[in-house]
């Protein structure tokens, strides 16, 4: 897909210096530019590259003053970084504007869908499914019976939605995510074996949620496992049955949250952190990578590190002392030896 400098400037509300008809069809870092590429300059550290880049078009700030000749066509805007982001979003929208139902997809007769549906090859839509408008369902997606999917949601290849899952509007679920598998519920018996506890609830995902590749969210034992609006989950996150994640919280890769734990609003969780079950985590809590959370947190907007977690400042002090533990051990050994010698003389 090609765009001219004139089209790009019109989209961004920018002004052109150079050839308005030059075409670009891809993007590149300014230091790695090539003909047909679009780049941007926002960080002054990269200014030297604008005089040597081979990119055909470069987006710059209005305040940029050239000290040498530039071969690329410039598009001047108020904020080059924000404008480049806007352009990427537009390109992503246009390039993924897929519509139509593949003849190789299967849709149960009782399923309903809105306008402008894209349904890729080998996708399966179960009984009594309800799909909103402008939904994109890529190849090999499985949508179980009774599932509801809101407007403008995107399901990438290989997503699995078990029965009765509810997905809100403008959600993005990346490849390989499994939503609504059974929670890990087993009752130990006297003879040592485990009796499976049926998981009869569902997963409820509100609007504007993004779920990373190969993330798994278990259905609840009863009621719903709930992901509130605006939540962002990275790849390889696992949320167990009856977990609740509050609005606008963000969980990085490989976070694991055990059953019935409730995270508040605006929480941030670093990668590989783990939570035991049945906790209540206050709004605005922040956890560094590899935190081990073993108790509830009642005070809002606190920062934590470590396993088990400590308040961030306390952790940093302890960690600084820990780096000197060998030296402290040697000093203690010397003092004990000196004390033993003094005792022997008395």
Residues of the domain holding 8: 3-95
Percent of the chain with pLDDT over 70: 100
- Check 241, 262, 278, 280 and give the catalytic one: 241
Binning pLDDT at 50, 70 and 90, where does residue 287 land? very high
pLDDT in tens, 10-23: 999 999 999 999 99
Report how far apart, in Å, the C-alpha atoms of 79 and of each of 41, 43, 44, 58 are: 10, 11, 13, 13
Asked about 241 being catalytic, the answer comes back as yes
Shared domain for 59 and 112, answered yes or no, is no
Shared domain for 144 and 246, answered yes or no, is yes
The Cβ-side half-sphere exposure at 9, using a 13 Å CA radius, reads 22
Least-confidence region, from 49-58, 67-76, 79-88, 333-342: 333-342
What CATH number is attached to the domain comprising 64? 3.40.1390.10
What CATH number is attached to the domain comprising 133? 2.160.10.10
Shared domain for 168 and 29, answered yes or no, is no
Shared domain for 143 and 255, answered yes or no, is yes
Antiparallel, parallel or unpaired: β 303-305 and 310-311: antiparallel
Shared domain for 163 and 54, answered yes or no, is no
pLDDT in tens, 161-197: 999 999 999 999 999 999 999 999 999 999 999 999 9
Shared domain for 49 and 193, answered yes or no, is no
End position of a domain, from candidates 32, 67, 95? 95
Shared domain for 311 and 326, answered yes or no, is no
pLDDT in tens, 97-135: 788 999 999 999 999 999 999 999 999 999 999 999 999
Shared domain for 296 and 160, answered yes or no, is yes
Joined together, the tokens standing for residue 131 give 């799909």
Query: Domain total for the chain?
Result: 3
């Amino acid at each position: 897909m090609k765009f001219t400098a004139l089209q790009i400037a019109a989209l961004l509300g920018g002004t052109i210096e150079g050839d308005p008809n030059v075409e670009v069809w891809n993007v590149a870092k300014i230091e790695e530019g090539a003909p047909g590429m679009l780049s941007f300059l926002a960080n002054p550290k990269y200014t030297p590259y604008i005089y040597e880049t081979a990119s055909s078009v470069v987006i710059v700030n209005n305040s940029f003053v050239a000290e040498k000749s530039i071969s690329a066509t410039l598009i001047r805007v108020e904020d080059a970084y924000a404008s480049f982001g806007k352009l990427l979003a537009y390109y992503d929208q246009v390039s993924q504007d897929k519509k139509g139902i593949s003849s190789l997809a299967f849709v149960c007769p009782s399923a309903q869908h809105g306008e402008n549906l894209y349904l890729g090859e080998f996708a399966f839509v179960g009984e009594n499914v309800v799909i909103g408008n402008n939904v994109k369902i890529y190849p090999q997606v499985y949508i179980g019976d009774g599932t509801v999917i809101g407007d403008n949601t995107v399901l990438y290849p290989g997503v699995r939605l078990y029965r009765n899952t509810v997905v809100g509007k403008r959600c993005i679920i990346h490849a390989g995510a499994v939503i609504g598998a059974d929670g890990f519920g087993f009752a130990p018996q006297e003879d040592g074996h485990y009796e499976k506890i049926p998981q009869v609830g569902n997963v409820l995902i509100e609007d504007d949620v993004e779920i990373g590749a190969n993330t798994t969210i278990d259905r609840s034992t009863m009621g719903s496992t709930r992901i509130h609006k605006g939540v962002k989950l990275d790849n390889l996150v696992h949320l167990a049955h009856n977990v609740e994640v509050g609005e606008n919280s963000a969980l990085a890769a490989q976070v694991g949250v055990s059953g019935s734990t409730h995270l508040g609003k605006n929480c941030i969780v670093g990668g590989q952190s783990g939570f035991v079950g049945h906790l209540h985590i206050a709004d605005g809590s922040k956890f560094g990578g590899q935190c081990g959370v073993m108790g509830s947190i009642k005070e809002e907007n606190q920062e934590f590190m470590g396993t088990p977690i400590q308040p961030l400042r306390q952790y940093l002090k302890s960690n600084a002392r820990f780096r000197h533990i060998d030296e402290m051990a040697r000093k203690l050994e010397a003092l004990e030896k000196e004390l033993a010698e003094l005792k022997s003389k008395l």
